[in-house]
């Protein structure tokens, strides 16, 4: 059965605080944009990250990778397109594309792992979350 690619959209306007003296959105701030983008993706799927933490899970980042093609500037309206690429019950891989209108500014990948808040060891995601994430996964 063919599966349609599920893409989640988030919008950002570059804040003055996020620019640097090149006049660019500082390269490190995308980390927080991608975090908002994936939290929005999860929300759209009915999973609130806030609740996950309250239920005893943490979701720290394992690997983070960005390829910058063009810079963003102050007050630019950006669109981040988020896709869930892999999920094995414990680890989840998101991919991101940042656009300014039709221009692709960068692509990124973030791998996170479900961790038990008490033991701080990797663990299986809650059953209902697992089902949702498996459904939402779009292989590249």
Q: For binding to a second copy (CB under 8 A), which residues are involved?
A: 13, 15-24, 26-32, 35-36, 39, 48-50, 53, 58, 60-68, 71, 73-75
**Closer Cβ to a second copy, 53 or 135, answer by number:** 53
Question: Least distance (Å) from a second copy to the CB of residue 84?
Answer: 18
Cβ-based nearer residue to a second copy, 34 or 87: 34
For the stretch 99-135, what's the b/e string if a residue is b when 16 or more beta carbons lie within 10 angstroms of its beta carbon?
Answer: bbeeeebbebbbebbbbeeeeeeebebbeebbebbee
21 vs 139 by CB, closer to a second copy:
21
What sign does the dihedral 104-66-3-123 (CA atoms) show?
A: negative
Phi–psi pair at 76, nearest 5 degrees:
-65, 140
Minimum CB distance to a second copy, residue 45 (Å): 16
């Amino acid at each position: 059965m063919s599966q349609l690619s599920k893409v989640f959209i988030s919008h950002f306007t570059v804040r003055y605080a996020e620019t640097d003296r090149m006049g660019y959105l500082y390269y490190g701030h995308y980390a927080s944009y991608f975090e908002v983008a994936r939290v929005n993706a999860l929300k759209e799927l009915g999973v609130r990250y806030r609740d996950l933490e309250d239920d005893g899970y943490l979701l720290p980042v394992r690997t983070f990778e960005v390829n910058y093609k063009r810079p963003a500037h102050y007050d630019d309206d950006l669109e981040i397109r988020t896709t869930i690429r892999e999920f094995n019950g414990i680890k989840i891989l998101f991919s991101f594309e940042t656009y300014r209108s039709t221009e692709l500014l960068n692509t990124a990948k973030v791998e996170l792992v479900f961790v038990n808040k008490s033991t701080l060891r990797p663990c299986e995601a809650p059953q209902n979350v697992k089902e949702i994430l498996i459904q939402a996964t779009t292989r590249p």
